[in-house]
A = this chain, B = another copy of it.
Amino acid sequence: MTYTVQIKVMPLKELLDPQGKAIAGGLQNLGLSGIEDVRVGKNITLQINADSSGQAEQIAEEATKKLLANPVMEYFEIAIN
């Protein structure tokens, strides 16, 4: 069966996010008020062919640790639909 797995990769909360800061400045220049903080990360959708959702999650976790996220700067969350 094919499972759709969503992986969210975000910069660690302790670290500065220059891309987010730039977007926050841009939004302020556009006149949008009330936005206090912006953080930008990746969202990766995998279509995984596996026997069970547990196996699909395992493959997704291995893929994230080996290639998709850098644990020094990022944390990740995996969700299976």
Give which listed residue, B35, B45, B56, contacts A46 with CB less than 8 A: B35
| CB-CB under 8 A for A37 and B46, given A59-B32, A63-B32 | yes
Distance to closest chain B CB from A1 (angstroms): 11
Q: Chain A interface: which size bin?
A: 20 to 34
B67 and A50 form a contact (CB under 8 A)? no
Distance to closest chain B CB from A49 (angstroms): 5
The verdict on A38 contacting chain B, using a C-beta distance below 8 Å, is yes
Indicate with 1 or 0, residue by residue over A29-61, a CB within 8 angstroms of chain B CB atoms: 010101111111111111111100000100100
Q: Measuring CB to CB, which residues of chain A are less than 8 angstroms from any residue of chain B?
A: 2, 8-10, 20, 23, 26-27, 30, 32, 34-50, 56, 59, 62-63, 66-68
